[in-house]
Amino acid sequence: MLGAFANAFRTPDLRRKLLFVLLIVTIFRLGSQVPTPGVHVANVQSCIADIENSGLYSLINLFSGGALLQLTIFALGIMPYITASIILQLLVVVIPRLEALKKEGQAGQSKITQYTRYLTLGLAVLQATGIVALARSGNLLQGCTLDLLHSDTTSTFLVMVITMTAGTAVIMWLGELITDRGIGNGMSILIFCQVVATFPGSLWAVQQSQGWWIFGIVMVIGLVLVAGVIFIEQAQRRIPVQYARRMVGRKMFGGSSTYIPLKVNQAGIIPVIFASSLLYLPAMAVQFNQASTSPVIRFINDYLVGGDHPLYMAIYFALIIFFTYFYVSITFNPTEVADNMKKYGGFIPGIRAGKPTEDYLSYVLSRITFPGALYLGLISLVPLIAFALINANQNFPFGGTSILIMVGVALDTVKQIESQLQQRNYEGFLR
């Protein structure tokens, strides 16, 4: 491993790419510490130190590296872009125009990327408006009675919204710079950096509140979880595909063998984000109706806020299972794959082309999605169970969204570095 790192930095062009990524990450983290104009920094820091972080904005705060509650210029983080990308992926399935653009290749994908940018800015305006409005009314940080803003004027409100929206646009630009001139997917690397930024603080909070004994147990469990996540993330079912020989003019084409890789975790982290976002809606309703005595509000406050109740865990687990099947069904189309194979003379050994191939792919996909859905549900429940058992911090470091992002992005980036090393006859990281 150390030799592979040395070879990576010994190669001039690869070293330049790695140093460029480190430079962009440094700029990104510096921007996450610069407060938005109009924020009362001392009061914000005092409130964050005095109260326990609410679970309402924990997902957005995770993707902002803790910058959300500090109201910095990068407070929104990468979350608007993630939401916009998910929405566009869903719309591609239901809107024929977008589906046609996707089939046009690189030109169509560039157009969809442009739509994603516009939607990201629109979502950033909405999220920035909501966050600044909560900070203005004093409801952003639960239990805080200090003024988070220097002034309550409309001009300050507009400046803060514009600054946070512009910060989201800068983050998109930085991510695209990494993709074009660095190594790996820029947006994924920025998400990875934001999640890792909160990791040491979460670990130290466990040690401070529970002592070294519980801290050691958490570390051991964490290492086991990381090993398990790496194993599952790389697990795949390879369906063999054989292409028949065919004559085109005077040349012979085909006759090759390949495979369709179906990952066990075909949906990635998207089902966890969907389920978390859906369960935040009742918690948000409670926050805006704290004075209400309605039985519905009391039920939500007792069972669906905090994440430590068994009913909340059961609903969360069921939603992850549902969204896993839902997302896999819209991102992998067995009919389209079977038609493309038939068009180019491909077939699965022992399976007839056309409808039988489609049925076989659907059968294998449904069977392999079930353990993937269980895996996502169990990993996502780890921080909730830990919070209930040892009263750890809500953003428990090992488990859930954090560990899936860290392991997934790290594996993808290492594989890309490894492929470039192998092009230069060096041994890679993964042997």
Structural domain containing residue 370: 199-400
Give pLDDT, residue 416: 82
Give pLDDT, residue 117: 92
Q: Is residue 337 part of a domain?
A: yes
Contact 285, 301 (CB under 8 A): no
Give pLDDT, residue 241: 87
CATH code, domain with 307 = 1.10.3370.10
The whole model's pTM is what? Answer: 0.79
Give pLDDT, residue 259: 84
Split at pLDDT 50, 70, 90, the class of 93 is: confident
Mean pLDDT lowest among 4-13, 177-186, 220-229, 257-266? 4-13
Q: Report whether pLDDT(15) > 60.
A: yes
Rounded Cα distance between 386 and 393, Å, is 9
Q: Is residue 207 part of a domain?
A: yes
Q: Report whether pLDDT(348) > 60.
A: yes
Who has greater pLDDT, 154 or 147?
154
Reduce the DSSP state of residue 15 to 3 states and report it.
helix
Give pLDDT, residue 296: 73
The predicted model gives 285-295 an average pLDDT of 65
Who has greater pLDDT, 73 or 391?
73
Give pLDDT, residue 53: 47
Q: Determine the distance from the C-alpha atom of residue 102 to the mean position of all C-alpha atoms in its chain, rounded to a whole number.
A: 22
Closest CA to 77 of 161, 185, 191, 184: 191
Q: Is residue 327 part of a domain?
A: yes
Q: Is residue 295 part of a domain?
A: yes
Q: Is residue 267 part of a domain?
A: yes
Share of the chain above pLDDT 70, in %: 81
Structural tokens at position 367: 């069977």
Split at pLDDT 50, 70, 90, the class of 38 is: confident
Q: Is residue 5 part of a domain?
A: no
Give pLDDT, residue 250: 66
- Distances in Å between the Cα of 367 and the Cα atoms of 94, 262, 327, 374 are 25, 11, 15, 12
Mean pLDDT lowest among 60-74, 124-138, 326-340? 60-74
Q: What is the pLDDT of residues 359-400, one digit of tens each?
A: 999 999 989 999 999 998 888 887 767 666 665 544 455 666
The predicted model gives 105-125 an average pLDDT of 89
Sign of CA dihedral 187, 192, 193, 194: positive
Q: Is residue 266 part of a domain?
A: yes
Cβ neighbors of 35 (< 8 A, separation 6 or more) are 41, 44, 70, 71, 72, 73
Give pLDDT, residue 166: 93
Number of structural domains (the chain) is 1
Q: Is residue 53 part of a domain?
A: no
Mean pLDDT for all residues in the chain:
80
